[in-house]
Homo-oligomer: A and B are copies of this chain.
Amino acid sequence: MTETIWLVVSLVAGTISVGVAIGLYVWVNKQDPGTEQAQKVAAWIRQGAISYLKKLYMALLLVAVVLAVIIAIVFGIQKNAVYGIEIAGAFMAGAILSAVAGYMGMTVAVAANVRSATAANKGLNPAFNVAFKAGSVMGLAMVGIAVIGMSVIYLLFRQPQIVLGFSFGASVLALLAKAGGGIYTKTADIAADLVGKVEVGIPEDDPRNPAVIADNVGDNVGDVAGMGADIFDSYVASAVAVMLLGVGMASSGESEAKYIVLPLILCTLGIVASLIGLQLVRVGKDGKPGRALNGGTVITCVLFGVMAVAVILLGGYSIGVLWATLAGLTTGVVIGFTSDFFTGDDRPPVVETARVSSSGAAITIITGFSYGLISIVPSVIGIVAATLISYYLAEASGISGVYGVGISAVGMLSVSGMIVSSDAYGPIVDNARGIAEMAGMPENVIETADILDAAGNTAKAITKGFAISAAALTVLALFVAFAGEMEDAGQVLKLSLLDPMVIAGIFLGAATPPLFSALTMLSVTRNAFDMIEEVRRQFARDPGILAGTSEPDYETCVSLAAQGALTSLIGPAFLAVLLPLIIGFLMGPETLGAFLGGAIFTGIIFALLMANAGGLWDNAKKYIESGHFGGKGSDSHKASVVGDTVGDPFKDTAGPSLNTLITVMSLVSSLFAPIIAAVSLFGK
């Protein structure tokens, strides 16, 4: 009974969140869209972004329908036709609702960029306001839609396994959006830089460069749609893992659903905290937008913590749940802020990498890569600490330790509404700066846009650390949930490290994230080459382009990037969805479990390495550009540009996609666990 009330409350909170998102959406679109020239540039970006999203969603629809049919048939045979259709329907709902959230976030982002640039004429605060409110659309739409989806499916079917289907759908979309967007954005970025800055010597965001619109589109499809889908994916997956683990946990006299519904309750509290926190984000008189964003995050976390304490204690939950929630929340914030140590503007690793750049690009690479390797250690210690604290404090208070680990992931992700809002702000102001440049807006606008942009970079670095840690705890919970699903299906997994099939599974799993990273990065360079060829062809065909008298053909570059990114997804998507099934069917449930474990361990390690090394190189370049160690044009600067270019696919393509990879692999294994267990039992 109480649980049903909470489910309705979740539905209401989710609906309010989506309502506020729609309100902000309308508000942003009402703002001054600026000069004709600015609107023209913005229209190119908008059309490019929407045309890419349409292609992506068509590809998704194809993949999703095929997978849904397979799911319906397989589960129809295994259980019954209705159950098969229910799971397949939940899967489609997950994919489609995640796409809707992404679409809302993207369309408002490409409307807000030009409006934020225009507002910058009036000062920092109005410009910040437009960009941040647009970012909030993404954050609020995402958490609202996710909570509505999960609540409705659970209210209808009362089975966590069907919510697992929803999560898998969201995850498949996230994989395509994140990896595809990552490939798209860096293809365009690298091509625009290499042919523009290096070959013909025109500045960044120069409208004469045919690849410049594709580059700006890339910021949106990679950072807004991609990152949003990634967090949506972790957000839902962590809640589902806990729902699965919560089955049968209630003691006698308690409602059966008590522990199943708890993650939805925490998500609801997180939505309320985010709604309040977002209202309190204000740039103070000193004009520091970075501080405003961080302040909003801290306030949201505190609010959420206070509400969680009240609800958990009043709701009669074990105290261990509270410790787990707070451990996750604290770890998320701490890891986010410490990842700032390795990539922050004027921190020792960045300054040291900038300093050694005077000896050439090779030293820049070796030094940045080494700090990236070191940066793995504190985050891993944080993840280990959160795991052990939440596990043992849950056990000490008499509930399942693994449930505690899952709750810590939910605790961390519950404030996603706020985190995603800050993160989506970044690419919007980045685009605003680009539009200001291309539309020839006055110098003070560009300066304001620069200040807004710098704040966005810090938020972005924190979000990445947060996303990786949250994914780590989520997949650990999913991993145990997978073992639980196998047990329910009659296969008790021992997963002993001394078993050769387990060693084999771990090794094969551990090799998968590096392979996945390599495939996405090679796609970036291959597609960038195609785009460079196209740009060279345009310059050769019409000298008026460089002279500034005729307009380049932005369209071809935009569709080259889109086509290349989508084609390149085939290999990585195959790895993510099919490889676990192949391992499971051929080598059995034990090896599959070990395979997941191996993929999780190296997935997290490579994700941290790539995200942090990439962020560090980026900021080392910016540090030099701000006048240190010779400044722009010096040999140090040239070396740091090489570092930045290497770091681009590290931090924006390969690294962040790894979160999604390991989540998809864990979800597909959990979903198909009954089938694999049955076939494997049959084979024995």
A362 and B502 contacting across the interface, CB-CB below 8 Å: no
Query: A497: which of B363, B380, B495, B504 is its contact (CB, 8 Å)?
Result: B495
Interface centre among A360, A507, A528 (most CB of B within 10 A): A507
> Chain A: how many interface residues by the 8 Å CB criterion?
78
Q: Which of A363-383 contact B (CB under 8 A)?
A: 363, 365-367, 369-374, 376-377, 380-381, 383
Known: A361-B361, A496-B496, A642-B360. A384 touches B602 (CB 8 A): no
B360 and A198 contacting across the interface, CB-CB below 8 Å: yes
**Closest Cβ–Cβ distance, residue A361 to chain B (whole Å):** 5
Q: In the complex, identify which listed stretch (A326-334, A452-460, A591-599) lies at the interface while the others stay far away.
A: A591-599
Task: Please give, as numbers and ranges, the residues of chain B lying within 8 Å of A479 by CB-CB distance.
Answer: 497
B370 and A521 contacting across the interface, CB-CB below 8 Å: yes
B194 and A504 contacting across the interface, CB-CB below 8 Å: no
**Closest Cβ–Cβ distance, residue A13 to chain B (whole Å):** 32
A191: nearest chain-B partner, CB-CB = B359
Task: Please give, as numbers and ranges, the residues of chain B lying within 8 Å of A605 by CB-CB distance.
Answer: 510-511, 514, 602
Q: Which of A576-624 contact B (CB under 8 A)?
A: 593-594, 597-598, 601-602, 604-605, 609
Decide if the interface of chain A is mainly helix, strand, loop or mixed: helix
Task: Please give, as numbers and ranges, the residues of chain B lying within 8 Å of A383 by CB-CB distance.
Answer: 507
> For the complex, what is the distance from the CA of A511 to the CA of B604, rounded to whole Å?
10
Task: Please give, as numbers and ranges, the residues of chain B lying within 8 Å of A529 by CB-CB distance.
Answer: 356, 359
B507 and A380 contacting across the interface, CB-CB below 8 Å: yes
Identical chains in the assembly: 2
Does any Cβ of B come within 8 Å of A442's Cβ?
no
A195: nearest chain-B partner, CB-CB = B359
> For the complex, what is the distance from the CA of A380 to the CA of B505, rounded to whole Å?
11
**Closest Cβ–Cβ distance, residue A501 to chain B (whole Å):** 7
> For the complex, what is the distance from the CA of A391 to the CA of B498, rounded to whole Å?
12
Does any Cβ of B come within 8 Å of A480's Cβ?
yes
A483: nearest chain-B partner, CB-CB = B498
A502 and B508 contacting across the interface, CB-CB below 8 Å: no
Task: Please give, as numbers and ranges, the residues of chain B lying within 8 Å of A594 by CB-CB distance.
Answer: 497
Query: A642: which of B365, B377, B387, B495 is its contact (CB, 8 Å)?
Result: B365
Task: Please give, as numbers and ranges, the residues of chain B lying within 8 Å of A604 by CB-CB distance.
Answer: 507
Task: Please give, as numbers and ranges, the residues of chain B lying within 8 Å of A493 by CB-CB distance.
Answer: 498
Q: Which of A104-152 contact B (CB under 8 A)?
A: none
Does any Cβ of B come within 8 Å of A683's Cβ?
no
Q: Which of A460-518 contact B (CB under 8 A)?
A: 476, 479-480, 483, 493-498, 500-504, 506-508, 510-511, 514-515, 517-518
Task: Please give, as numbers and ranges, the residues of chain B lying within 8 Å of A641 by CB-CB distance.
Answer: 362
Does any Cβ of B come within 8 Å of A563's Cβ?
no
> For the complex, what is the distance from the CA of A504 to the CA of B601, rounded to whole Å?
11
A-B contact pairs, 18 of them (CB 8 A): A194-B363, A198-B360, A356-B525, A360-B642, A362-B641, A362-B643, A371-B518, A374-B515, A374-B518, A380-B507, A380-B511, A388-B500, A391-B500, A493-B498, A494-B496, A507-B604, A601-B602, A642-B642
A-B interface, 4 closest residue pairs, ranked by CB to CB distance from nearest = A362-B645, A373-B518, A495-B497, A370-B518
Task: Name 20 extra pairs, CB < 8 A, besides A190-B362, A365-B646.
Answer: A194-B359, A198-B360, A356-B529, A365-B642, A366-B521, A366-B646, A370-B521, A373-B517, A374-B519, A376-B511, A377-B514, A377-B515, A384-B507, A387-B503, A388-B504, A401-B500, A480-B498, A497-B497, A506-B601, A510-B602
